[in-house]
Structure 1
């Protein structure tokens, strides 16, 4: 373990999470209404697909990759966790979708300069080890005038009520989501990672906005209330998932590469 880098820790953890990732609250997208809501958010920030080249950073099981494909983008999915990528490729094959997949580190894409019209990253930035370097790389591979969309949240600083939810699931015998099904060993693995990433105390919208501006992005669009997404899932405020979604600080921010 001592010889493992933080990247090894992250890759190993998400490899273990691949099987349950899509069932975790806030990760999988199952309902048509939720697909539509995500589509509205993406179009507000990135516009229509129209065959433009899109990169889905840390694409995982391909949830957003498939959604972007459905919106008409020519999509590349990039991730360094092979079990996650295997599920993404399976979804693409089943849909007969022409999606390109790359097994690479999202912080250092190794893609050519000025390649993509848009880049999207969901639930990635809070895990970065060198966010300034990553944002500079993403600016580099965007075409002039291209946009980067970050969808993320503070998954570290939990409200005390949120910490009780997995326990309540077990006590009352309710169906558990992917997070509730984590073993004690997996939770310990998660905590080790959180203690070593850049945003070990959690990330907020203001933190992300500073990264955009420091890298050289402009024409920012900011959403700090993703209630439309929550409503699309049919989540009621007083339900288990409704409470979890309401207590978490989630946001969407996009910026434009100068011409």
Structure 2
């Protein structure tokens, strides 16, 4: 594993306990319904869709989608995150597969999945264009990519903390953790890109069709700045379809 990925995995290993508690709180809150509504908007018709949740973390998207009856596989680079995802799914009686796997190199045959979903992952990737290519490889012709992300590369997390409410979930992070996150982020080429315009251009060059960017999703999800889950970085939903028929 290259050095930057070791740093990334180590950082998220250190955050896995608190991150899991936060995801459980989110699953128990109105946020679960809000996110599920946004996911359902982009899902193709059909029951039991094969869905890959890339960078699943502690399995938030995987749990939501598996509860709908879809066949969900969640992957993450960090073993500690995958263990937490398995535990959360088990405690909620949800059937989903979770595997430790590099998001930039998903180890699945070509055309395995109907849908690929991701939340707050692309901005952490050392080789995001390569990742997009690999995600499309394992997506079936006509399959859908739903990527929820933000232009986090423009943010300074240590400064951002001052604008958050006293009970915000990120208040649990230490100054050291915030500084480490900023340090990793600033090493990544995607942090210098203009997003989501950069993502759209990459996917267009990879042959995607029916691309759509929803820049208002953050207003629907994070309507209240007093919410402990409030995200001050405007997120977007990037939807694209792999050329071909399902």
Q: TM-score, normalized by length of structure 1? A: 0.83
User: What residue is the counterpart of 2:178 in the other structure?
Assistant: 187
Deviates more, 1:199-208 or 1:49-58: 199-208
Q: Is the 8 A contact 1:127 1:198 kept in 2?
A: no
Deviation of the 1:204 alpha carbon: 2.0
Corresponding residue to 1:251 among 236, 239, 243? 236
Distance 1:127 1:218 in 2: 25
Q: Is the 8 A contact 2:53 2:74 kept in 1?
A: yes
Superposed counterparts of 1:105-124, under 5 Å: 105-124=102-121
RMSD: 2.6
For structure 2, the residue ranges without an aligned partner over 5 or more in a row are: none
Distance 1:163 1:52 in 2: 39
Deviates more, 1:30-39 or 1:46-55: 30-39
Say which one has the larger Rg.
1
Distance 2:86 2:161 in 1: 34
Distance 1:11 1:55 in 2: 20
Higher relative contact order (CA 8 A, sep 6+): 1
Deviates more, 1:74-83 or 1:3-12: 3-12
Distance 1:194 1:101 in 2: 26
Deviation of the 1:56 alpha carbon: 0.2
Distance 2:26 2:168 in 1: 16
Corresponding residue to 1:220 among 199, 211, 220? 211
User: What residue is the counterpart of 1:133 in the other structure?
Assistant: 130
User: What residue is the counterpart of 1:145 in the other structure?
Assistant: 142
User: What residue is the counterpart of 1:40 in the other structure?
Assistant: 37
User: What residue is the counterpart of 1:229 in the other structure?
Assistant: 221
Deviation of the 1:95 alpha carbon: 2.3
User: What residue is the counterpart of 1:6 in the other structure?
Assistant: 4
Alignment CA distance shift 1:200-1:221 (3 Å): closer
